[in-house]
Each structure stands twice: as C-alpha cells, then as structure tokens.
C-alpha cells in the first residue's frame, strides 16, 4: 500500500484504476460499500471529461422545493444541498407567499464585465484619451470575435475606463483598467468575456504604451443583477403561539440588525445563499462565481450589508426585496452536458439565463424569510435539531 500522495500520472489512469489507487492509499477495501457509492449515478466517463483525476461522483441530496409561484408561474425548484431544513424552509415560505401572488422578479442589466489591467501607464491622461478615441474600433473588434453571440442580440455593448494612480497601486505605477461590457445572453459567459479581454489586451497596450496585466472577467457582475420581491400577509406568518403581527415585526427587526452590523449581515446573507447555491449547483452553474458576486455586491459601498430588506406596508403585510448579481447560464459550461443539470432545467422549465436567475433570486428571498421567521420566534435550533436527530438516527442505523 502506497503512503505517498505523490502519484505521477494519476490523470492517465482510467476511472476504476484511479479508484483502486485511492482505495489502496487510504486502506479502503475494494468491496467497501462507500467506495461502491462512487460508482452510482452519472457516467464516470462523462465526469472524467469535466475535471482531472476523477474517481467518481459525490452525490448530494437532490431535493425539490415546492409551492413556488414566480412571476405568476408555478415552479418546482431543484435544490442540491446537504443542510437539513433548507428545502423544507424554502417550500414553506413559498407556500406562505402564494396567496399574495408569490414572488415578483426582474432583471437589472444583462452585461458581464471583462477586465483588462494596464500597468505602468506612462501618461494617464493621454492613455485614457487614446482608449476613448478608439472606443468604436475596440467594441467592433470585440464583437467580431463572437458572431453567434452578436446574432443572438448579445456581444460587447460598450466599455468603461477606470484609473488608479501610482500612490494607490503600490508597485504597479499608474494603472488603467478597461471594462468590456458583454451581454452573454444565455451563457454565464466566462469564456466569451475572457477571450475578448485576452485578445484585446495587446491593442490596448499599443494604444496606451502600458504593460498589459491581467485579462479576466470580474465576478462583481454588478451590471447583471436580478431583483426579487414578495409580500406576505402578516397573519400567514403566525407560528407556535406567536401571532402574525408579532412575527412580522420580529422579521423586520431581524433584517434591520443586518443593515448596521456586518457580523450579522454575513450570516443573514449566508441564509440567502442557502437558497441560492443549491439551485445554482443543481443547474450545473458556478456557485463560487455567484457567491463572490453576492458578497462583493453586499460590500459595494465600503461596508458589508444585507442583500435583502424587509418592511411592512400600509396594510401591515410583510414585504421583502432581494437584489444581487446573478452570473448563471442555461447554455455552455456543464449546464447542458450534465444530465442532472439538464434535468434541473427541465424541472424548472426555464430556457434562458434571465429566467433562471430570476427564479434563483426568488428562492434566495424565500430562504431568507424562513431563517428570519425562525430566528425572530422559536430560534433555529428547534427545527434544526428535529432534522439533526433524524440524521443521527440514520447514522446509528448505518452502524
């Protein structure tokens, strides 16, 4: 049995061979049932094409949140998540929002941002002017790289120029950052955006006399955002001896806490991401990108804040709104390659990235409502412990 993790050419082995090597390393019997679990589900050869050194799949619970109405449409939401109570809470809150119309969503912009960094700019003002004079040429060149995207109504829509002076950059001299604004239509768009950045960097260096630096999309996709809102009748919120009015007030107060304390805001937003990530994962999208965008957006004005807000309207109903960057796609990446991502998109019955992003925002808002309702009343431990107990019992049954 090898005890060294230095395994040359692991990537060259077949999936079953890799499993054997890993099992031998870890001292796991070839007939261990946990090892067998790696083989169930998706075709390993397909997974092998996604990443390196594949030994199998890591199955997570694939649950379905029920009861959602989003923009007047009934939606079942696939959620891939390991945390107890996430799917139940989303379904419950969607049920409470149903009688008042469910969730209303909108798209706020559709452009991804690609950054080209230009370091040691010799003359900042002249370089900025040169980029502005070449703006039309740069945009036309960026559009010429992806005629399919342009035919679909997307492609590079414009550019922004941002500057940093040498005293800000600490070693990079005067810096210009050019932002290419790219409508990626139904793709998340990393490939399209990164290609534009890489291919235009030499021309930008030529125009400015600067040294080209990084060329990559920004996950602070603040020009591609979604907004979801809902209204819930106060009486629908009543819980375990707490009247609806009291619960609505408690939710508003809990949300207020997250507006002034970043320590609370981080947890508040984690609760939102409890709803968002599982749908992003189920549809084969890049949840790290969505997470990065959400938290950077939450800190956009210099202090970290809640992504959502809750208040009561004149009738006393509870109203909530959530807005965040949403960089997801329904084409490209693994969204169309992974059978379960395809299945998720089919269950959701969405075909565009915009539709998907809007449903995801609705789920984030529902999840946030569930957390604040529990926290403002009985606390989360009661519900959590009930489910945790079930997990313990399951673990005990497994021996």
55 vs 372, which CB is nearer to ligand MEV? 372
* Structural Rg of the chain based on CA atoms: 24
- Which residue is closest to ligand MEV by CB? 271
343 vs 375, which CB is nearer to ligand MEV? 375
309 binds ligand MEV per the rule CB under 6 A: no
Asked about 384 being catalytic, the answer comes back as: yes
Site string for ligand MEV, 263-302 (x = CB under 6 A): ----xx-xx--x----------------------------
In the complex, the smallest distance separating the C-beta of residue 183 from ligand MEV, rounded to whole angstroms, is 34
294 in Cβ contact with 324 (< 8 Å): yes
Cα 90 to Cα 77: distance, rounded to the nearest angstrom? 9
Look at the block and give the residue holding tokens 């990530």.
Answer: 277
Site string for ligand MEV, 321-360 (x = CB under 6 A): ----------------------------------------
Q: Which stretch binds ligand MEV (CB under 6 A): 187-195, 201-209, 262-270, 390-398?
A: 262-270
274 vs 283, which CB is nearer to ligand MEV? 274
277 vs 323, which CB is nearer to ligand MEV? 277
211 vs 267, which CB is nearer to ligand MEV? 267
The encoded tokens of residue 231 equal: 């209204």
Cα 66 to Cα 96: distance, rounded to the nearest angstrom? 12
Residues 367 to 386 in contact with ligand MEV, rule: CB under 6 A = 371, 375, 380
Please identify which of the residues 286, 317, 323, 355 carries the catalytic annotation: 286
150 vs 380, which CB is nearer to ligand MEV? 380
Site string for ligand MEV, 80-109 (x = CB under 6 A): ---x--------------------------
Please identify which of the residues 48, 71, 106, 270 carries the catalytic annotation: 270
In the complex, the smallest distance separating the C-beta of residue 288 from ligand MEV, rounded to whole angstroms, is 18
Residues marked active site are found at: 83, 270, 286, 384
Q: Footprint of ligand MEV on this chain (CB under 6 A)?
A: 83, 267-268, 270-271, 274, 371, 375, 380
């Amino acid at each position: 049995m090898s005890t060294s993790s230095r395994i040359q050419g692991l990537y060259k082995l077949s999936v079953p061979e890799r499993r054997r090597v890993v099992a031998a390393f870890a001292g796991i019997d070839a007939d261990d049932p946990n090892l067998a679990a790696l083989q169930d589900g998706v075709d390993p050869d397909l997974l092998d094409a996604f990443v390196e050194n594949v030994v199998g799949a890591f199955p997570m619970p694939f649950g379905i949140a029920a009861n959602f109405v989003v923009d007047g449409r009934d939606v079942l939401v696939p959620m891939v998540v390991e945390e107890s109570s996430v799917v139940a809470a989303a379904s419950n809150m969607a049920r409470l929002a149903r009688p008042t119309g469910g969730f209303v969503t909108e798209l706020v912009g559709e452009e991804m941002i690609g950054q080209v960094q230009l370091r040691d700019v010799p003359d900042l003002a002249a370089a900025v002017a040169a980029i502005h004079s070449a703006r039309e040429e740069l945009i036309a060149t960026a559009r010429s790289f992806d005629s399919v995207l342009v035919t679909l109504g997307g492609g590079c829509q414009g550019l922004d120029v941002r500057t940093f002076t040498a005293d800000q950059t600490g070693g990079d001299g005067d810096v210009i950052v050019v932002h290419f604004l790219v409508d990626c239509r139904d793709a998340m768009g990393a490939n399209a955006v990164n290609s534009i950045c890489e291919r235009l960097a030499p021309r930008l260096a030529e125009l400015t006399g600067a040294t080209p630096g990084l060329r990559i999309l920004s996950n602070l996709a603040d020009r591609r955002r979604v907004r979801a809102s809902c209204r819930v009748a106060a009486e629908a919120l009543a819980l375990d001896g707490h009247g609806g009015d009291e619960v609505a007030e408690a939710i508003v107060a809990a949300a207020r806490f997250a507006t002034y304390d970043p320590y609370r805001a981080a947890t508040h937003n984690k609760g939102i991401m409890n709803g968002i990530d599982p749908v992003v994962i189920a549809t084969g999208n890049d949840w790290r990108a969505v997470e990065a965008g959400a938290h950077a957006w939450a800190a956009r004005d210099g202090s970290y804040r809640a992504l959502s807000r809750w208040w009561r309207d004149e009738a006393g109903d509870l109203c909530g709104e959530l807005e965040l960057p949403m960089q997801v796609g329904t084409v490209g990446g693994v969204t169309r390659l992974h059978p379960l991502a395809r299945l998720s998109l089919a269950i959701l019955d969405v075909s565009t990235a915009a539709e998907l992003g809007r449903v995801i925002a609705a789920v984030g808002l529902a999840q946030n409502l569930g957390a604040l309702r529990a926290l403002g009343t009985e606390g989360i431990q009661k519900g959590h412990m009930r489910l945790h107990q079930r997990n313990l019992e399951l673990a005990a049954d497994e021996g």
